[in-house]
Structure 1
Amino acid sequence: MSFLGFLLLGLIAGAIAKAILPGKQGGGWFVTLLLGVVGALLGGWIGGALFGVNLQEFFSLATWALAIGGSIIVLLIYGAIVGRRKTA
């Protein structure tokens, strides 16, 4: 997958993850892009390590599921860190 395809996947996966998670997550589209790309990397790494999934296809269901799952994990971690910082 090309770099631009990976960025697009990360942006969309981050937006879907934000829509799935309840409550408000801070950050605009740039933070969504960054967290989505990090989440896609995390999901790809987990998928490759645990299930042997190859993430070369943009339109593969496994690619999207792992990217969205990784983005949800990253958004939960981000929310926990930012949430602690706001209350402290």
Structure 2
Amino acid sequence: MSIVAWIVFGFIVGVIAKLLTPGRDPGGCILTTLIGIAGAIIGGYAYSHFINPAYTTRFDAGSIAVSVLGAIFLLVLYRLLSGRRL
């Protein structure tokens, strides 16, 4: 994927993660994008190493779901570490 595609994908994943995670979040567009990109990387890594070793990186519903789960994990971790209420 190109860098622009990663940024767009990260923003979409970050927005979905914020919508699915209850509570207020102080982050703006940049933080949403960074959490989405990092969530996609962490979610894909965890899925390919622990659940399905044959998983390849492709753009489909499964990759979006794995990325959103990774972003939700990071968002909850961010809120816990920053002292924000869940």
- Provide the aligned C-alpha RMSD in A: 1.6
Measure the CA separation in 2 of the matches of 1:7 and 1:25.
20
Measure the CA separation in 2 of the matches of 1:14 and 1:70.
10
TM-score w.r.t. the length of structure 1 is 0.85
| Structure having the larger proportion of residues in helix | 1
Deviations 1:10-37 (A, max 9, x none): 1100000000001101210000011111
Aligned match of 1:41: 41
Superposition deviation, residue 2 in structure 1:
2.3
Aligned match of 1:54: 56
Measure the CA separation in 2 of the matches of 1:75 and 1:44.
16
SS in 2 for 1:46: helix
Measure the CA separation in 1 of the matches of 2:44 and 2:3.
15
Structure 1 gap segments, 5+ residues each: none
Larger deviation, residues 12-21 vs 46-55: 46-55
Q: Percent identity over the alignment?
A: 33
Measure the CA separation in 1 of the matches of 2:20 and 2:74.
13
Measure the CA separation in 1 of the matches of 2:66 and 2:3.
17
**1:1-88 map, 5 Å:** 1-50=1-50, 51-52=52-53, 53-55=55-57, 57-58=58-59, 60-83=60-83
Q: Which runs of 4+ in 1 moved over 6 A?
A: none
Structure 2 gap segments, 5+ residues each: none
Q: In structure 2, give the amino acid aligned to 1:36.
A: G
Superposition deviation, residue 79 in structure 1:
0.5
